[in-house]
Amino acid sequence: MKRTQISLLAVATLLAAPALAEDAALREEAKGLFEVIPMQAPQLADNNTVTRDKIDLGAMLFFDPRMSKSGVFSCQSCHNVGLGGVDGLETSIGHGWQKGPRNAPTALNAVFNVAQFWDGRAPDLAAQAKGPVQAGVEMNNTPENLVATVQSMPGYVEAFAKAFPGQKDPISFDNFALAVEAFEATLITPNSKFDQWLMGADGAMSADEKAGLKLFIDTGCAACHNGINIGGNGYYPFGVVEKPGAEVLPAGDKGRFAVTATADDEYVFRAGPLRNIALTAPYFHSGKVWDLREAVSVMANSQLGATLDDTQVDQITAFLGTLTGEQPEVVHPILPVRSAQTPRPEHMN
């Protein structure tokens, strides 16, 4: 009996050896292309020191609809931290119930992107935070009105003084943006199944998920979607091989061309980061595709000229599901009380 048990163990070991070797080779290949999400917020590139007081202030500003002219829309409105950092709409709804021109990118892990917005027009999260506040189709506010709003509330006066100690006038539009950036830097999603596997946990991914990763690399997806955020770190034309139809890519949006005025940047967009992609439908800057399997097929055809069969699409989609990390648990902050001097919200006429 003992000899039989030993023989069965030996057979099982021999059978497992090739699979373990394949896993090891795939892991080494993946480590050359991707990085693990860290367990805590990184140091910000613009030297914005992240402190607890600054994070807490940024959270208040992120959730406060009074940062908009109408008092209706906040950063959270379009970048809902409970919905994968997006609003789940084709394009966001803003001031006067206007529809924005592009799908709202996720705020989760945005700190790892090379730049912000689909066209990369903001170099960091602080610059990005200033954009929607002033956009007529979004929050439709002005820096002056925002500053007057926060200056009118004793709770904000105290919070800005704590977040920016030693400054003569801590309440400014720049400091508003730096505080929001500090909070958003904490919105990271570590410990995904893929991260666990990349760090050596062989059982963290299924056979189909690993097959999907292999296809993701071999088909060419990883040429644009790589790095710590599995994308978000480069700019590429949408439709390298074949432009999708108007049902996916409406005419008129020339992407990065509006930023650089360079002909080569027409219809060029930042590669979407794929972390938590299973949570953030609809997809692409147009928000026209609601099914992740369909998005995989569109990208394979348009960007790579590859026709994938159903099994391959299923496997790549399964791999993308492993990129969902631990979602940040954010308690909605108690917001400062308005005073008699607080500017009143303006109607959205």
Which letter does DSSP use for residue 232 in this model? S
Torsion angle in degrees (nearest 10) through CA of 275, 278, 284, 289: 170
Please name the residues in contact with 141: beta carbons below 8 A apart, sequence gap of 6 or more. 67, 68, 69, 133, 134
The helix/strand/coil state of 153 is: coil
What is the rounded CA–CA span in Å between residue 143 and residue 158? 20
Q: Is 205 annotated as a binding residue?
A: no
Q: What element of type H or E holds 269?
A: strand 268-270
Q: Is 199 assigned a ligand-binding role in the annotation?
A: no
State how far the Cα of 273 lies from the Cα of 80, in Å rounded to an integer: 17
Q: Which two tokens stand for residue 94?
A: 């803003």
Residue 224 assigned to a binding site = yes
Q: What is the largest CA-CA distance in the chain?
A: 87
Q: Confirm or deny that 299 is annotated as ligand binding.
A: yes
Give the helix/strand (H/E) hosting 237: strand 235-237
- What torsion do the CA atoms of 46, 51, 54, 55 make, to the nearest 10 degrees? 100
Closest CA to 33 of 304, 318, 229: 229
- Flag whether 332 is marked binding: no
285 carries a ligand binding annotation: no
Q: Which residue is catalytic, options 28, 90, 138, 209?
A: 138
At 121, list the tokens: 């027009």
Give catalytic status of residue 266 as yes or no.
no
Task: Give the end-to-end CA distance of the chain in Å, rounded to a whole number.
Answer: 85
Q: Which helix (H) or strand (E) holds 29?
A: helix 2-31
Residues 83, 85, 87, 89: is their CA dihedral positive or negative? Answer: negative
For residue 292, CA distances in Å to 41, 87, 233 come to 28, 17, 21
Residue 1's CB is within 10 A of a number of other CB atoms, namely: 5
Annotated binding residues, written as ranges, equal: 75, 78-79, 95, 221, 224-225, 299
Annotated binding residues for heme c, written as ranges, equal: 75, 78-79, 95, 221, 224-225, 299
Catalytic residue positions, numbered = 138
